Every structure is written in structure tokens, then in C-alpha cells.
Amino acid sequence: MKELKELCRANIWNLSPYSCARTEFSGKKAHNFLDANENPYNDPYNRYPDPFQTDVKKVLSKIKDVPVENIFLGNGSDEAIDLVYRIFCNPGIDNVVAIAPTYGMYQVCADVNDVEYRQVLLDENYQITADKLLSACDDHTKVIWICSPNNPTGNLINPEAIVGVLQRFDGIVVLDEAYSDFSSIQPFRSYLSKFPNMIVLNTMSKAWGCAALRLGMAFASKDIIDLFNKVKYPYNVNLLTQQHALEVLNDPYQVDEWVKNLLQERGKMVTAFTELPICVKVYPTDANFFLAKMTDAQAIYDYLVDKGIIVRNRNRVQLCENCLRITIGKKSENIELLSALRQYQ
């Protein structure tokens, strides 16, 4: 890995972050707050929230087995994705490399930040090699994006390929593990100390059932997390999100039960889809969804919409022609979908 200073944009490295009122007395006891121009009434919502979400990180640290200093929390994973570009990529000069197809926000944020986005197509099994990814890089490649389990394909990217990229690429490797709770393999966040150039993304939106909270996570070296905290907006995670996150995180056994139920339903749904005459193929999945190749994805999608059933049409995505992405719902929702598809003419 190159020195972090060499990878970081010069203006970001030299940036003096905004010092908000709630950071100046950090670690000291205080009871009379006359520093932030807040209204003294309507406690606790009149006060700005903890800018570093300390209580939430302490609980997450135990659950994820990652030290607090290696955790960044943002307004969804999308904030962390955008920060990677703002910290490491010089607009109009640097580029990033990503597998394709994959999560669309990597490219959206690249376009917003005026950074060249280079796509490397997966093979027919939705896999990639380290050599193929690295061959797309040049001296201005700052970041490689890998989503595993991947969206929309659902499969895990070969861990050997990921390790190969981490060992051989001298820039930043972002591994998005939003769906890792539905997989049986060890998450890469367990190897943070081994790969200082790695940023691992995770979220409260999937297994934790908190998409409405918009709480994303990034795990990385302390030096990288310090850069995230330098660039982020001062109060990027609101108080209501922090409060509800603590409530949910304090009951991880409920999440384990949700995941167990979803995996059981996933198995039933995959089996049922393979028996549908209108389904050509169901691809392997390690997520809470699966990708299915249909006889006519657009027509079937339109048919389901008419019945008030919404799935994701991936027909126009590279390597996903005639494919629908099906999220695993409750048993009753899954039965309704299957019943509708069995009646499709």
C-alpha cells in the first residue's frame, strides 16, 4: 500500500475540520449548555446529537468485534461511499475500478465527483479474478470497489480473488459487505489489521431491518477513519437514528431469528422458482435476495406490477438480461408472489 498521505487528496490531508460545539469539551463533564445557539426548551431534541455516535459505536464494537476507533457511522452506506471519492479521488484526474454488474451508487458517486469509473465485467458465473481487476488499473487508480455478496447477482465473490487484490493493489480497496449477515463465511472486517488498505462497508438496512434509519457503517484503519471524520458533516447521524439504533442493537437475538427465517424462506423460494415454467435459471445466492433468469422478464415484471407485487427488473443490466431480482419477504408475501407467477399465461 502507498502511504496514506500519497493516496489522499492534498486539500483533504491539509484540511482543518469544522470544530463543532459538542467536540470542544469532549471527555469532560458538562451540564449547562450555552455554546451552540440551541433553544433551551424541548429537551432532548433541542440539542445537537453526539457528532461521533459514541454510544452506538460502543455497542457495535462488541457485536461486530471491531474496535471503536475503527468504526465510522454515516447517513446510510451511501455517505461512506461518497466520502471515499471526496477523500481519495482528485476530480478529473483519478479513476476507480469496479466489478460489473454491481451496486449502482458506486458509479453515481463517481459521476457526481467527476471521477472516471472503470467497469470490469464478471464472467458467466458472476466471478472475477484479481488479474482481471488489476489489469484495468493504472497510475491514477485510487480505489477498487468489490461488493460481496454482490448486488444484483447475490453471490459471494471468490475470497481468493479479493485477497489477491488486497495484497497486490497499492491503493484503497472497498469491500461492501451489506449482505454478509446472510452468508456463512467469515466477513472481511475480521482482517482489518492484516489489510491496512481495506475499507469494509456494512449497514443496518438489511439483516437488522432498519432501512428507514439510514445508518451505514465503514470499518477501516484508525488513520482512514480519522479522514472520514475530518470530512463528514458535523452532525451526520441524527439523534432519533442513534436512539433507535441502540434499541435494536440491544436485541441481537431478534436479528438472528429474522436471518434464520429469511434463509429458510430463501431456500423454499429458490426451489419453487426452479419449478416455474417461466423461470430459466436461478443463480446461486448468499444474500436476502436471488437473481432469476425468466422467459420474458419485462412482461412478467409488468404483470406483477398490475397485481401490486413489486420485484426488481434487472433486464437492462449487463449480464442480467431477462433477469428479475427477488427480495425474500415474509412467508405470506412469498406465497402471494409464487401464486401470481403460477397463474401467469
Domains of the chain: 4-250 (3.40.640.10), 253-343 (3.90.1150.10)
Calpha distance 54→229 (Å, rounded): 13
Burial of 9 (0-12, 13-18, 19+ CB in 10 A): buried
Contact indicator for 261, 253 with CB cutoff of 8 Å:
no
Mean per-residue pLDDT of the chain: 96
Crossing angle (nearest 10°) for helices 105-112 and 76-88: 40
Is the pLDDT score of 31 beyond 90?
Answer: no
Please list the residues that pair with 206 across neighbouring strands: none
pTM as predicted: 0.95
Contact indicator for 206, 17 with CB cutoff of 8 Å:
no
According to the model, what pLDDT value does residue 1 have?
Answer: 84
Which helix (DSSP H) or strand (DSSP E) does residue 241 occupy?
A: helix 239-249
**Percent of the chain predicted with pLDDT > 90:** 94
Q: Would you place residue 21 in the very low, low, confident or very high pLDDT band (cuts 50, 70, 90)?
A: confident
According to the model, what pLDDT value does residue 156 have?
Answer: 98
Tell which wins on pLDDT, 148 or 25.
148
According to the model, what pLDDT value does residue 27 have?
Answer: 58
Nearest to 69 by CA among 83, 77, 56, 57: 57
**Percent of the chain predicted with pLDDT > 70:** 99
Nearest to 219 by CA among 252, 239, 194: 194
Q: Would you place residue 182 in the very low, low, confident or very high pLDDT band (cuts 50, 70, 90)?
A: very high
CA distances from 85 to 147, 188, 242 (A): 16, 21, 25
- The 3-state DSSP class for residue 135 equals helix
Contact indicator for 45, 34 with CB cutoff of 8 Å:
no
Nearest to 291 by CA among 309, 275, 306, 313: 313
Calpha distance 160→185 (Å, rounded): 13
Could you tell me the three cell numbers for 255? Answer: 436479528
What's at 97, amino acid-wise? V
Nearest to 246 by CA among 211, 187, 200, 204: 204
Calpha distance 251→249 (Å, rounded): 5
What is the average per-residue pLDDT within 295-300?
98
Q: Would you place residue 23 in the very low, low, confident or very high pLDDT band (cuts 50, 70, 90)?
A: confident
- The 3-state DSSP class for residue 257 equals helix
According to the model, what pLDDT value does residue 129 have?
Answer: 98
Contact indicator for 220, 73 with CB cutoff of 8 Å:
no
According to the model, what pLDDT value does residue 186 have?
Answer: 95
